[in-house]
């Protein structure tokens, strides 16, 4: 091998050696380092400890505030700087964490602008705001004698491993954190309810705790699942409608602000899901968001739409994860509270034991001091010249008098005796010394009693916390069960739907073709063609259905009230059939033929009837062969309503020339039954709650409130009801209302009977005086009342008086004042069983299954039909469709 080749070979080996040295495999590094990083984030940053409920940064902030505490406020910037002695991260994270603790208004007394959880406004810079530990925080967080300590990150200071928190702080404040592959979300709970639950646990009783949010609102906790994974809490804003043109939001859901909520409302409006005129944010100390509505828009339906499409309703998924023994622990909030209460008992026991030891030491030295001075043992050391001699002399002098002591005398005890000054010895008062010893003995007995009755002592401790700090901490979030809002029922239909019947296209982009009605982008539409094909498809810009479309409308799933009346020919030369059916559900974009034959079938007559009307039609046959009867009538009411796939009844096997409408029909469906569910304060047709009655299209509901307002409404399932409602029943127009009210101006009770004359207007039937109020109201025909009078001073109790209110006063107008009930002072007015009365008989209705849609208002019925029911001509000579959606195709 040449020298040149040897040099090249050696160079190659050197490169290979150099390459081998620089390659580092990251497999092990990733496995170890990433695990270390994940563990650090979980344990030291994101997840709170179960012992005290604090994340490390929060614990270090509170310890720093304790170090600086002198009863006065400290600059937050100063506290942040002091905390950095414990916390190995930047000042921004410390300041943000401190603001979050302060905004919960439990552990920190704040001064300055600390931000606003309602509007989302941030706090002022840390140099401008001040803070100190609250009295509650000082009482429940700190006790250095029972605190375990560890070195800080740089070893210069000692910081607590956990603070001795004697309160379920984690549940009161809540916690949220995202770590590596792990997260936690503990919802805040009510201060008073947590203390009550802790006491119940210590008493061995069952308890339940539920979230309470600082922003208020209403919450449905039916699926809370004790705060564990898989649970869900639905939170809604509180809103009301002061009039028909506006809605006011007064409380917002947790995790939202007025800014984010308003943004969500504006986005929903831009997308056409809701319709508003304008929105104003008048929030100051309390939330007030004013939404102005366009004329003619229902506030009740708009409120449902706000819940369905905006942040007025949010869903929160709790995930209770904490750190215990340096490991993540998934545990429910009930178990958290049990552990907190038990931990509090252990801490109180430790405090009592330390306190007992200290008091016993005080008693021991006070007893030694008395023996030392009273028996003048100090004189025995006058001749001693060494320290050992002094100790020995005092020990020898004490021995005859120490039989009652509770422990042996140590050299430290004797050394303390030698430190007593001559001035104290000269002024020693034996009686005062004995009183001090007696007081210490009483204190020792008290502490031992507490230790023997530790559970009762803990209960008393929680009771004292409730008494001292429970003021103004009542529940802010109302717990209730929410009704499910179906988006398709409350969305605003802001898109126009068009059809090209001849070409067979349906969509929102066909603006040059026939207008069908309004729809929304989440609606489905149902279509029928002349060939007897039905299809349901989603609203789109342009969709091909099939040529010669007969009928198009917005499809309502599970609608059993809309009945389709059809006469069709099955196949090219097959017989003709008649059928009535409802379409409740099917597969989207699938073609469904009317009969069994798919080719050559033809629709001869079609009508869509939103209230199940059944008309009479005339059948005309073509004259051929020996057919004797070529014309006869068919009444659709005689045809049983069956399923969509039913073939129907045979009309004729001969060729039909045309079908003519002879007589419009009436609804063959019975009145629907409507119930009121008091749990969710909503109407329904599913049998939940109290049955209000059987309602036809023209029927209305009567509502009377405690404020003395009477009104009638159409019974829609979207209707909302006031909390002070005292009457809710089916309105009978000729049935009088009888009210007994207190006239605030005259300070007397009055009776009035009236009938609601204007069904479209709210009527106030008591005087507009601040002291006027409604006492009782009856909707009976012949109501009876009992008056319980006050006992006059020095006289006998007057007997109760029964009053027939029908005879007492005649029916007058709503605005009438009525008749004075009595001049005697009344203690109580009670309604009793009314006198018998037989009203006119009404038609009984059979219970049927119906779609949960609003009852049809007869004044809007024609409009609804024109918008929803339409059909088509088969050819230019075919007759036009009438206003009931009926069509004769021949």
In a 3-state reduction of DSSP, which class is residue 516?
strand
Percentages of the chain per state (helix, strand, coil), in multiples of 5: 30, 25, 45
Distance CA 515, CA 500 (A): 9
- How many angstroms from the chain centroid is the CA of residue 358? 51
Residue 52 DSSP label: T
For the chain, what is the largest distance between any 2 Cα atoms, rounded to a whole number of angstroms?
Answer: 157
Active site amino acids: 128
Minimal CA–CA distance to 92: which of 80, 74, 107? 80
Q: How many residues does the chain have?
A: 890
State the number of CA atoms in the 13 A half-sphere of 529 facing the CB: 24
Residue 834 DSSP label: P
- DSSP per-residue codes, 491-507: S---EEEEEETTTTEEE
Distance CA 504, CA 521 (A): 20
CB 309 within 8 A of CB 175: no
Minimal CA–CA distance to 821: which of 775, 782, 780, 781? 775
Distance CA 750, CA 819 (A): 5
Distance CA 170, CA 140 (A): 13
Distance CA 350, CA 353 (A): 5
In a 3-state reduction of DSSP, which class is residue 9?
helix
Tokens linked to 627: 């057919």
Burial class (CB in 10 A: 0-12, 13-18, 19+), 450: buried
Neighbours of 87 (CB within 10 A): 24
H, E, C per residue of 114-161 = CCCCCCCCCCCCCCCCEEEECHHHHHHHCCHHHCCEEECCCCCCEEEC
Task: Look at phi and psi of residue 41 and say left if phi exceeds 0, alpha if psi is from -120 to 50, else beta.
Answer: alpha
Residue carrying structure tokens 């009542």: 474
pLDDT of residue 25: 65
CB 257 within 8 A of CB 120: yes
CB 523 within 8 A of CB 550: no
For the chain, 890 residues long, the average pLDDT of each consecutive 10-residue run is: 47 45 64 73 85 93 94 95 91 92 94 93 94 95 93 91 95 90 92 96 94 94 92 94 91 94 93 90 92 89 91 94 90 94 95 94 89 84 84 85 85 86 83 90 94 95 94 92 78 86 92 89 91 92 92 88 91 90 88 82 90 89 81 90 89 89 78 84 84 85 92 85 88 91 91 89 88 91 90 83 90 90 88 82 44 38 35 35 37
Distance CA 711, CA 692 (A): 16
pLDDT of residue 543: 92
Distance CA 260, CA 61 (A): 30
């Amino acid at each position: 091998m040449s020298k040149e080749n040897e040099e090249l070979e050696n160079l190659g080996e050197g490169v290979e050696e150099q390459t081998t040295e620089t390659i580092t495999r990251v497999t092990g590094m990733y496995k170890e380092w990433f695990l270390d990083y994940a563990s650090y984030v979980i344990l030291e940053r994101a997840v709170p400890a179960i012992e005290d409920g604090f994340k490390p940064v929060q614990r270090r902030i509170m310890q720093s505030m304790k170090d600086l505490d002198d009863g006065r406020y400290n600059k937050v910037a100063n506290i942040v700087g002091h905390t950095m002695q414990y916390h190995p991260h930047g000042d921004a994270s410390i300041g943000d964490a401190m603001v979050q603790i302060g905004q919960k208004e439990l552990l920190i007394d704040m001064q300055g602008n600390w931000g606003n959880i309602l509007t989302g406004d941030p706090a002022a810079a840390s140099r401008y705001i001040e803070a100190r530990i609250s009295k509650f925080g000082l009482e429940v967080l700190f006790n250095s004698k029972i605190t375990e300590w560890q070195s800080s990150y740089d070893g210069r200071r000692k910081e607590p491993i956990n603070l001795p928190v004697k309160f379920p702080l984690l549940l009161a404040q809540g916690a949220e954190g995202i770590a590596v592959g792990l997260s936690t979300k503990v919802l805040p709970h009510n201060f008073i309810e947590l203390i009550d639950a802790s006491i119940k646990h210590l008493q061995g009783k069952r308890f339940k705790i539920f979230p309470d949010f600082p922003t208020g609102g209403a919450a449905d906790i039916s699926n809370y699942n004790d705060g564990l994974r898989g649970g869900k809490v639905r939170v809604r804003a509180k809103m009301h409608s002061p009039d028909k043109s506006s809605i006011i939001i007064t409380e917002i859901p947790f995790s939202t602000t007025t800014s984010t909520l308003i943004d969500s409302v504006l986005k929903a409006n831009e997308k056409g899901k809701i319709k508003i005129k304008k929105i104003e944010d008048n929030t100051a100390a309390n939330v007030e968001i004013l939404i102005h509505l366009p004329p003619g828009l229902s506030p009740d339906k708009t409120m449902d739409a706000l819940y369905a499409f905006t942040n007025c309703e949010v869903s929160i998924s709790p995930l209770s994860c904490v750190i215990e023994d340096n490991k993540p622990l998934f545990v429910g909030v009930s178990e958290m509270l049990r552990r907190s209460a038990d931990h509090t008992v252990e801490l109180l026991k430790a405090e009592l034991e330390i306190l007992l030891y200290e008091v016993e030491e005080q008693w021991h030295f006070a007893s030694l001091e008395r023996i030392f001075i009273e028996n003048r043992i100090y004189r025995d050391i006058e001749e001693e010249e060494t320290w050992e001699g002094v100790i020995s002399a005092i020990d020898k002098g004490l021995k005859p008098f120490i039989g009652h002591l509770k422990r042996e005398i140590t050299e430290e005890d004797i050394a303390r005796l030698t430190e007593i000054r001559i001035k104290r010895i000269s002024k020693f008062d034996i009686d005062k010394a004995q009183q001090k010893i007696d007081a210490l003995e009483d204190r020792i007995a008290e502490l031992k009693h507490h230790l023997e009755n530790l559970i009762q002592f803990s209960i008393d401790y929680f009771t004292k916390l409730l008494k001292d700090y429970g003021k103004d901490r009542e529940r802010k979030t109302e717990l209730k069960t929410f009704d499910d809002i179906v988006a398709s029922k409350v969305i605003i239909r802001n898109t126009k739907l068009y059809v090209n019947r001849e070409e067979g296209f349906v969509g929102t982009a066909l603006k040059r073709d026939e207008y069908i009605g309004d729809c929304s982008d989440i609606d489905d539409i149902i279509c029928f063609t002349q060939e007897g094909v039905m299809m349901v498809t989603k609203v789109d810009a342009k969709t091909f259905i099939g040529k010669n479309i007969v009928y198009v409308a917005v499809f309502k799933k599970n609608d059993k009230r809309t009945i389709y009346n059809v006469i069709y020919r099955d196949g090219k030369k097959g017989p003709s059939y008649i059928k009535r059916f409802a379409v409740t559900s099917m597969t989207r974009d699938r073609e469904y033929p009317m009969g069994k034959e798919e080719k050559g079938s033809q629709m001869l007559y079609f009508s869509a009837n939103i209230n199940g009307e059944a008309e009479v039609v005339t059948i005309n046959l073509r004259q051929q062969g020996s057919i004797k009867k070529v014309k006869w009538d068919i009444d659709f009411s005689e045809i049983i309503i069956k399923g969509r796939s039913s073939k129907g009844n045979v009309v004729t096997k001969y060729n039909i020339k045309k079908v003519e409408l002879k007589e419009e029909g009436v609804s063959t469906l019975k009145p629907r039954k409507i119930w009121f569910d008091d749990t969710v304060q909503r109407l329904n047709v599913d049998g939940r709650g109290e049955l209000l009655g059987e309602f036809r299209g023209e029927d209305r509901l009567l509502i009377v409130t405690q404020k003395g307002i009477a009104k009638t409404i159409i019974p829609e399932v979207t209707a909302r009801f006031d909390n002070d409602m005292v009457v809710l029943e089916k309105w009978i127009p000729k049935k009088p209302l009888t009210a007994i009210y207190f006239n605030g101006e005259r300070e007397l009770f009055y009776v009035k009977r009236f009938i609601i004359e204007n069904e479209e207007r709210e009527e106030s039937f008591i005087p507009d005086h601040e002291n006027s109020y409604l006492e009782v109201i009856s909707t009976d025909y012949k109501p009876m009342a009992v008056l319980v009078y006050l006992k006059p001073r020095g006289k006998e109790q007057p007997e109760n008086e029964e009053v027939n209110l029908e005879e007492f006063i005649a029916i007058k107008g709503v605005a009438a004042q009525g008749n004075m009930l009595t001049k005697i002072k009344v203690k109580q007015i009670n309604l009793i069983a009314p006198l018998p009365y037989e009203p006119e008989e009404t038609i009984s209705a059979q219970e049927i299954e119906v779609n949960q849609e609003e009852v049809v208002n007869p004044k809007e019925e024609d409009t609804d039909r024109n918008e929803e029911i339409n059909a088509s001509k088969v050819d230019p000579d075919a007759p036009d469709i009438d206003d009931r959606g009926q069509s004769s195709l021949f």
